[in-house]
Structure formats: C-alpha cells, structure tokens
C-alpha cells in the first residue's frame, strides 16, 4: 500500500459514521467503538446489547448467512463490503454451524438498512434472525471507509453496541474496547467445537432435491472439529466417505482406535499456536501413523506447526470469496473462499515439507504437503459455501490418497 492510499484511508475513516445521502440526521441507536477511541455511529439492528470482538472485513457478495454462521468467525465483528445485506432473508438450510452466536460471530457492520427479504427460499428476515441468535448489527456505516481503515492500520478490537433508546456510556465502551485481549494467544476452538462425537452422512445440496444421504460409503473418515463447517462434511460425504466427527481435544490414540481410512483437520477460529498447545502433539502422532491426513484453514496452520513450522498474525487477514490461489502441483489458478487471520510462515517449513499453493494477492502460503507421507493441507475453504467451487478437486485428492493406502 502506498502513502497516498494510507492517507486516503485515514481521511475516509473519519467519515465512517456519515449518514448516507438522503437519510435524516437522528440520534444513533448503535455504535462501533474502536480500541483507539474512534466512535462510529449508526442505526441498530438485530439484538440489543454490546459485544467485544476483532473487526475484519469480508468482500463476498453472496452467502451472508453462511458467513455469519461460520465458526471460524468466533470472536470477530464482520464488516460486509457489499452494501446490501439481508435482501434474500434467511433459511434453515444455509446454516454452517449448529452453535449459537454466543460462541461465534460477535456482530456485523452494514452499509444499508436491512430490507424485507425477496427470495423464494426465505423463511425469516435477517433482522429477526439476528435477534433470535443474539447477534448485534449496526447499519448506515460507510463500510468502504472502515475497510480502508483496516487495510491501513490492521484489524482493530472494538465494541459493537445497540441501544434502541440511543443511550450509551461512550467512555465505558471506549475502555472496554481498549482493554479487549488480542486475538493472538486466544484458543477459541474450545468454544465452538462439538461437545461429543457424532456421525454424519448428509451430502451436498442439489437443485430440486435439497441435501442427500450417503448410503454406500467407501471410506471412514474421522473429522476433528476445531470449528467445523457443515459443507465440508457434505463434500466429504459426497466424495464417498462415512464421517465420524470428534471434539478438538480428542487424542490421536482415540482417533486411531476408530480405524479410520483418513483423518480430517477442520477450520476454526483463534490463534493456531494457542489451540496447538493440546492439538499439535496429537497431530504429530497422526502424521507419524501414516494415515492419510487432510487439513483446512486452522487445521492447515496447526499441521504446519506439527511439521516444525511457525505461524504469524496477518495485518488484515483474508476474508472473502474471490481470492486467487495458484496450485503449484497443477500450475492452475483457482478462485477461492477464505477466512483467516493467521498464516503459515513458509520460510519456517523444513525440507521434508513442500509448499503446494500460494496466494496471488499477497504471496502468503496457502498449501503444503509432506513429501514422503499422505499428508496435505490448504489455507482456504475448498468447500466454499459461500464461494466458487474451483477447489472441490481437493476432496477427490484426499479420496485418492485413501484409495492408494487401502489398496
């Protein structure tokens, strides 16, 4: 980013609270208070109350319900760069996690007010859906200016507050935002993981049919839930897998006792080094067992740690459904869905590990594999939901590894 861009970002940030043209000036019913004391005013939506989180921005133009229910956003406040959020309402099918918002996303920041839904699949308005799940929203914010601020200064901690009567203790909110802990060092997987193991056989959604069932699986996969998305399970089931989902704290011995053909390490929120305190030693044992292993997002980062690498906090993270990634194994470029604030440091990886994917936005590591074992992972979300389906081939790659080992 050049100096001109930085200057423009800081100037634009001062106008985040400016009401859109034509809106009447009225007492704000919602505030977004940043850790540096910046107060952004707007109109409240969703649940009343306040919540603390790290502010990030997401550039996806569709799939807001899937984004808001993605456990990887636990502890974060999402700024949607697309201005019209809520137009298609919500439904029971597009949920990506079963957990409620108390363990997930902390709030969302919107440009326009939430309108009445206009879609044949809509069962409930987004505003009512947010209320029911305790998610606070602020509308009427210049989200482009807030995004520019994040690009210039990084992802800030903040308090999002909604008071229908417009009464706020601003100084108290400023203190709360300033004292909020950094995302670095936080183990959030324990807040969103499954409470117990369970089986899964639902396959991907098809037009006119809805979700199907896997009735003749060829492989048994144990999926470790660090904040698992449902569509990952659906893609694995569609690829021919019978799935057993286990909590994040499950040991390698307990996993291998189930005699899986493969093990999957899921996405999830927080600092991989913090979750890795208990997860990485178990992942090391799984790698040594020779069992085919596939990791996504947080699972990718912790696999990197288990293989001897390190991770780092990113300046603004990657959040969206339009991220170009190059696969070195095929030479192809795919457009991917991403949601992460940490990355594997490629320079820390040992010679036994090969980098397989790289981001074409900033050159950060997006994939790796072990040279002499059936072990690989990617930083992005090949299951999409929302996002493009360019990366579905990775589930086939995992199945081929299990076929080779089983045969």
Q: Which residues are annotated as catalytic?
A: 297, 381, 383
**Rounded CA gap, 383 and 395, in Å?**
9
Whole-number Å distance between alpha carbons of 241 and 185:
34
Q: What does the block give as tokens for 98? A: 């079963």
Are the C-beta atoms of 156 and 17 separated by less than 8 Å?
no
Distances (CA, A) of 313 to 56, 274, 322: 13, 12, 21
Q: Are 137 and 114 in contact (CB under 8 A)?
A: yes
Nearest to 91 by CA among 205, 6, 182: 205
Residue among 263, 264, 262, 283 at smallest CA distance from 272: 283
Cα distances from 186 to residues 102, 135, 175, 274, 393, in angstroms, run 16, 21, 20, 6, 32
Three-class SS of residue 162? Answer: strand
Nearest CA among 27, 57, 333, 364 for reference residue 163: 27
Measure the CA angle with vertex 249, ends 307 and 355; round to 5°.
20
Longest pairwise C-alpha distance within the chain = 70
What is the residue-wise DSSP string for 203-256?
EEEETTTEEEE--S-SEEEEEEESS--HHHHHHHHHTTEEEEEEETT--HHHHH
Q: Is the dihedral of CA 238, 244, 249, 255 positive or negative?
A: negative
Number of H helices, E strands in the chain: 11, 19
């Amino acid at each position: 980013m050049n100096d001109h861009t930085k200057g423009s970002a800081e100037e634009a940030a001062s106008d985040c609270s400016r009401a859109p043209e034509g809106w009447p000036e009225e007492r704000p019913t919602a505030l977004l208070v940043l850790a540096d004391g910046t107060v952004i005013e707007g109109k409240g939506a969703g649940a009343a109350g306040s919540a603390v989180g790290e502010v990030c921005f997401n550039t996806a133009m569709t799939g807001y319900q899937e984004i808001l229910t993605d456990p990887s956003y636990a502890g974060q406040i999402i700024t949607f760069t697309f201005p019209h959020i809520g137009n298609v309402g919500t439904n029971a099918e597009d949920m990506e996690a079963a957990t409620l918002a108390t363990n997930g996303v902390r709030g969302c920041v919107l440009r326009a007010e939430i309108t009445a839904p206009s879609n044949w699949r809509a069962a409930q308005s987004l505003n009512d859906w947010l209320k029911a799940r305790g998610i606070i929203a602020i509308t009427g914010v210049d989200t482009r200016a807030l995004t520019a601020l994040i690009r210039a200064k990084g992802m800030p901690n903040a308090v999002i507050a909604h008071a229908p009567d417009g009464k706020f203790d601003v100084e108290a909110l400023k203190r709360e935002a300033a004292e909020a802990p950094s995302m670095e060092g936080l183990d959030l997987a324990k807040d969103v993981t499954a409470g117990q193991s369970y089986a899964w056989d639902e396959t991907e959604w098809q037009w006119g049919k809805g979700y199907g069932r896997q009735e003749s699986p060829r492989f048994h996969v144990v999926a470790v839930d660090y904040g698992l998305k449902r569509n990952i399970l659906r893609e694995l089931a569609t690829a021919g897998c019978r799935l057993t989902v286990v909590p994040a704290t499950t040991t390698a011995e307990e996993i291998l006792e189930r005699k899986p053909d493969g093990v999957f390490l899921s996405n999830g929120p927080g600092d991989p080094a913090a979750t890795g305190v208990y997860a990485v030693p178990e992942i090391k044992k799984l790698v040594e067992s020779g069992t085919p292993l596939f990791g996504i997002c947080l699972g990718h980062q912790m696999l990197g740690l288990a293989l001897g690498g390190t991770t780092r906090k990113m300046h603004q993270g990657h959040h969206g459904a339009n991220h170009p990634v190059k696969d070195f194994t095929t030479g192809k470029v795919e457009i991917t869905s991403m949601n992460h604030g940490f990355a594997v440091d490629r320079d820390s990886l040992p010679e036994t590990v090969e980098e397989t994917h790289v981001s074409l936005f900033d050159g950060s590591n997006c994939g790796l594999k072990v040279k002499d074992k059936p072990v690989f992972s990617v930083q992005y979300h090949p299951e999409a939901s929302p996002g493009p389906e360019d990366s579905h081939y990775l589930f086939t790659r995992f199945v081929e590894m299990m076929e080779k080992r089983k045969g």
